[in-house]
Structure 1
């Protein structure tokens, strides 16, 4: 990290007649931090951020839960970045269909891919395509008003039980939205159609199921504390699941987060009543279970009616390296909805090497490699990655800051060493070339000034309902206001 910061403290400037032209694909945290660090490191660089959506900010807008407004404050910082005189945002521009990767590389000295992970990992088990089995990403997009999530329409009325596979922060977000009193969500920026559906929801029990034990739960203490604090909620954790092995003890010694999570779970188990009271909503933490198949309903053909789980035990060579293995014992858990919170997956792009196993573009410190062999001599000059596409779908918003520092440090090194076309005096059309190409294809980019119109309208509509904003949730509505 010191080396990255040292590089960033230096300023490399191209000739004023030939500024460094940089295109960042993706306007989430990784994209904005990359733009910010590039503008600071290169005093004459021109940075263009493009995104397939008409709206900027990526998962800050469509991934952060509506009842976490404090997490969205970073939008103010990102807005200042794009209002810099050397930075521009163009929404409604899709890599692949609006403009190809090879075209971007011809237009810009540097292309940084930071478009995140917009697909889902699959379990690959029987019944995964049954009605009622969704990914947590789809559900999050649905309640956050993402235009690609509006049509999910999860059935919240035909069942009283939902099973969530996974115990990370996204799983806890989803469980909290299902269990939280809707009056507490009414004054957030949750999509109105989602709030209405949750208001009429029949779901009263949520099971959070993990393959490993409470010591290995992937959530943070803050998220766990919040869901345990939902009023009038019955929490159930099996006492047997809380028994720790010597390896677990060692693992907890090495991790303050894991220790705190375990302590919170233990405290919740100890203070819980033996049975839920009448009308109480229920949250069940289930450990040491892995899904074997999804069960189809006898009454409703094609719909999910439960999950067939295999019990697991931990194996492995020491703290932090324990993994779950099946024991050959099975049990069923009845439910009418399943949400898979087992990880996001990045989507490959034509002409780009992709490691399907790791879900990343092969790279060394952000420099894209020509293939997945890991050979550092095989670098795609001028092409970089940042964020989930670079390291996999892990970390929090701030993780992208350090990730961007490293990638921009690599760009700076390459520029100084004459690897990039800018340093050899070759001009690139950059922004002007991109806009001309989009115009020729009748693609209408949405600049930041048009996003500000959308933002103003959403705030106006929100004020009518005592909400911070009422999100526009269709491409048609977004583009109409942006005009």
Structure 2
């Protein structure tokens, strides 16, 4: 992924300006006044809530917050205690990614960018079982079948798929086939179980979550003991960019045009759905629209001059210095050591230099 972005900044004329928060350091209106086109492609950073009793218990963690901690984001909370029997709620790609990470052995982290704290946390987790549960039936799950098949490469697990069912629908059949490939895989000590058709209605416990209560497909109730409950049920807009209002008032929301000179793409436009190839195609279509609409000769707007004087901006060269420091510090078996404080990253980037 880093190499793909590098091509943009090193060969294709794009400029990188980092550590800039829109509507905090500079307003969206000021950006629009400075550029012929502004594209909002910020994704959806907030975790969607379950909206059920007990969601605020200790031991209940949203996937976005947890992955921030795992990836050593400067603003992340501490890595949580998961116990021996965590449950993952969700059947999308984020849930599969989370499952794959939690099921890995220390040896399977070789070559990754997992820091020593994360590696020690995983090694000491003591996880004995992982249940991954979806509201929908298996054929309607949101995961990519390829990602599911890759779980068959995990060395320390035994995988079991319960109640997948069957379907004549071609897309559903691909997902069922992927589950069939991994069902029964392995003889490892960590038992991974896929469950379907269970809707969470409550989380119970004294000091922390102990039991998840589900409604079954036939209207019954099932109670599952757990030591942590991890939600991967989608994302929502949050922060200073008022996504919902912008999309609701769009001139052409389906085409990605919010207003004259203002556009949106990816999850910011579509909501939390679609694979990377689908969102790439969405972005390419929008680029054609923008090129057809903006004046070829330019409008004389000031562009990046409006950013001059803003503190702590990071140029592409600044990012390269951060990247070089992280990779140079990598111990044997790792590709980098992430810098986990904003102050250290800014110091390395020499962010006060003039943006090129």
The TM-score with structure 2 as length reference comes to 0.90
Q: 1:135 aligns with which of 40, 48, 62?
A: 62
> Would you say the 8 A contact 2:86–2:131 is kept in 1?
yes
The one-character-per-residue Cα deviations of 1:123-159 (angstroms, maximum 9, x if unpaired) are 111111111111111222222222232x232113xx2
| Cα 1:382/1:267, change in 2 over 3 Å | closer
| Cα 1:361/1:128, change in 2 over 3 Å | farther
Q: How does 1:98-177 map to 2 (within 5 A)?
A: 98-149=25-76, 151-156=77-82, 159-177=83-101
> Would you say the 8 A contact 1:214–1:242 is kept in 2?
yes
The one-character-per-residue Cα deviations of 1:74-121 (angstroms, maximum 9, x if unpaired) are x22321212357431111111111111111112112111111111111
Q: Distance in 1 between matches of 2:12 and 2:4?
A: 15
Q: 2:320 aligns with which of 448, 452, 476?
A: 452
Q: Distance in 2 between matches of 1:290 and 1:433?
A: 50
Q: Distance in 1 between matches of 2:21 and 2:239?
A: 13
Q: Distance in 2 between matches of 1:109 and 1:172?
A: 40
Q: Which position in structure 1 is the counterpart of 2:253?
A: 363
Structure 1 residue 333, shift from structure 2 partner: 0.6
Unaligned runs of 5+ in 1: 1-71, 314-326, 369-379, 417-421
Q: Which position in structure 2 is the counterpart of 1:12?
A: none
If asked which structure has higher relative contact order (CA below 8 Å, sep 6+), I would say 2
**1:406 counterpart = 2:328:** no
Q: Which position in structure 2 is the counterpart of 1:311?
A: 216
Structure 1 residue 453, shift from structure 2 partner: 0.4
Q: Distance in 1 between matches of 2:251 and 2:115?
A: 33
Larger radius of gyration between Structure 1 and Structure 2:
1
Secondary structure of the corresponding residue to residue 214 of structure 2: strand
Q: Which position in structure 1 is the counterpart of 2:173?
A: 259
Q: Distance in 1 between matches of 2:181 and 2:93?
A: 19
The one-character-per-residue Cα deviations of 1:252-275 (angstroms, maximum 9, x if unpaired) are xx32xx323312323544x469xx
Q: Which position in structure 2 is the counterpart of 1:386?
A: 265
Q: Which position in structure 1 is the counterpart of 2:223?
A: 332
> Would you say the 8 A contact 1:366–1:406 is kept in 2?
no
Secondary structure of the corresponding residue to residue 83 of structure 1: helix
The TM-score with structure 1 as length reference comes to 0.67
Unaligned runs of 5+ in 2: 351-356
Q: Distance in 2 between matches of 1:400 and 1:289?
A: 29
Q: Distance in 2 between matches of 1:406 and 1:306?
A: 47
> Would you say the 8 A contact 2:88–2:133 is kept in 1?
yes
| Cα 1:208/1:362, change in 2 over 3 Å | farther
Q: CA RMSD in A?
A: 2.5
> Would you say the 8 A contact 1:228–1:268 is kept in 2?
yes
The one-character-per-residue Cα deviations of 1:349-392 (angstroms, maximum 9, x if unpaired) are 45765279x9x997241100xxxxxxxxxxx2111111110112
Q: Which position in structure 2 is the counterpart of 1:280?
A: 189
**1:198 counterpart = 2:118:** no
